[in-house]
Amino acid sequence: MSFPNVDRKRRALITGGAGFLGSHLCDRFLAEGWEVVCMDNLITGDLRNIEHLTGRADFRFLHQDVTEFIHVSGPLDAVLHFASPASPIDYLELPIQTLKVGSLGTHKALGLARAKNARFLLASTSECYGDPLVHPQREDYWGNVNPVGPRGVYDEAKRFAEAMTMAYQRFHKLETRIVRIFNTYGPRMRLNDGRALPAFMSQALRGEPITVFGDGSQTRSFCYCDDLVEGIWRLLHSNEPLPTNIGNPHEMTILEFARKVRELTGSKSEIVHKPLPVDDPKVRQPDIGKARRVLGWEPKVPLEVGLSRTLEYFRTRIARGEEVR
């Protein structure tokens, strides 16, 4: 579904826009000729991710918490809600903030979209499926989530956000889209954000032991950020209001992934094993049949290419002596 014609540049608000994925979305929308308002409270975001955009007339940064009252002057055509801690380290350290941004933050962002008559897109997650009993995971699977476990603050925040988004779609007739994002990687990830790729890559580059939780037989599917952004762009312009998986269906074990990163970096780091975290999913693989059918989308960037681009970014940061917080 294309946007109605307007006699001005289209304008989007991206919450969490200084984060890993949010900043790549800012780049894409600007490249497509949109104006972008980037909102971030910088709890997990980083101004370095958007420093190349500062000074542009079509880009504006708002240092603001989306869980509080938000006001954006002027028209908006789209609101993309990407604000949230997204790694286990973050949401275990910030459990209340994680719950608030999924509930209050989603409410505020939806209210703004409604006031501006803008199309709303929610960044949801494959964590809605929990430790799945169905494999691969399709959008019609309701999941296997522990609401009172340590990961529940993130899982349930996103599940609630989906429910609220659908309520606005059904009750207020707001145009909404929901993307369920599977494991994504690429430049601008934080070296110490706790997810597999930045952990493995930073450890390998520093010659430290590579930490694998459990025996490493748990599986993940890794999608390069450019592919994900393309899927989100297509979903926003589609007619699909129900959740849609966007991810790479190529599944591999965490141990295989650790070995691949070690090989790519040329590291001599040993692989060590630590206890598996509570409620850690044993398998994770998206069924992207819907994305292929509805959006004409599937990932294009091979793992080796994406890993090489990411490695170059991490090497540069470490060479500068920078710690990505």
Which tens digits make up the pLDDT trace of 102-149?
999 999 999 999 999 999 999 999 999 999 999 999 999 999 999 999
Q: Number of structural domains, the chain?
A: 1
Q: Is the pTM value of this prediction over 0.75?
A: yes
- Round to whole Å and give the CA distance between 263 and 294: 37
**How confident is the model at residue 2, as a pLDDT?**
80
CA distances from residue 187 to 29, 120, 225, 257, 279 in whole angstroms, order as listed: 18, 26, 8, 18, 28
Q: Residues 244, 246, 252, 255: what is their CA dihedral angle, to the nearest 10 degrees?
A: -110
∠ CA 67-277-40, nearest 5°, is 20
Q: What is the distance in angstroms between the CA of the first residue and the CA of the last residue of the chain?
A: 39
Q: Give 6's DSSP letter.
A: -
Residue 207 structure tokens:
């010659």
The amino acid occupying position 143 is: G
The amino acid occupying position 314 is: F
Give the residue from 259, 291, 296 showing the smallest Cα distance to 126. 291
List, for the chain, all residue ranges whose pLDDT scores fall below the cut of 70: 322-325
Q: HSE-up of 192 (CA within 13 Å, CB side)?
A: 6
- Is 321 inside any structural domain? no
- Is 73 inside any structural domain? yes
- Is 199 inside any structural domain? no
**How confident is the model at residue 324, as a pLDDT?**
44
**How confident is the model at residue 323, as a pLDDT?**
58
Q: What stretches of the chain adopt beta strand conformation (E)?
A: 11-15, 35-40, 59-63, 78-81, 119-125, 176-181, 184-185, 210-213, 219-221, 223-224, 244-246, 251-253, 271-274
The amino acid occupying position 119 is: R
Q: What stretches of 2-130 adopt beta strand conformation (E)?
A: 11-15, 35-40, 59-63, 78-81, 119-125
- Is 65 inside any structural domain? yes
CA distances from residue 100 to 68, 85, 147, 157 in whole angstroms, order as listed: 10, 11, 15, 8
Catalytic residue, from 91, 129, 141, 154: name it.
154
As to burial, measured by CB atoms within 10 angstroms (0-12 exposed, 13-18 middle, 19+ buried), residue 159 is buried
**How confident is the model at residue 5, as a pLDDT?**
86
- Is 133 inside any structural domain? yes
Give the residue from 7, 27, 15 showing the smallest Cα distance to 78. 15
State how far Cα 94 lies from the chain centre: 17
CATH number for the domain spanning 180: value is 3.40.50.720
- Is 308 inside any structural domain? no
Around Cβ 155, how many Cβ atoms within 10 Å?
A: 24
The amino acid occupying position 231 is: G
The amino acid occupying position 56 is: R
- Domain enclosing residue 165, as ranges: 11-184+224-248+285-300
Q: Give 137's DSSP letter.
A: B
Around Cβ 40, how many Cβ atoms within 10 Å?
A: 27
Active site residue 154: yes
- Is 135 inside any structural domain? yes
Q: Residues 225, 227, 232, 235: what is their CA dihedral angle, to the nearest 10 degrees?
A: -170
- Is 274 inside any structural domain? no
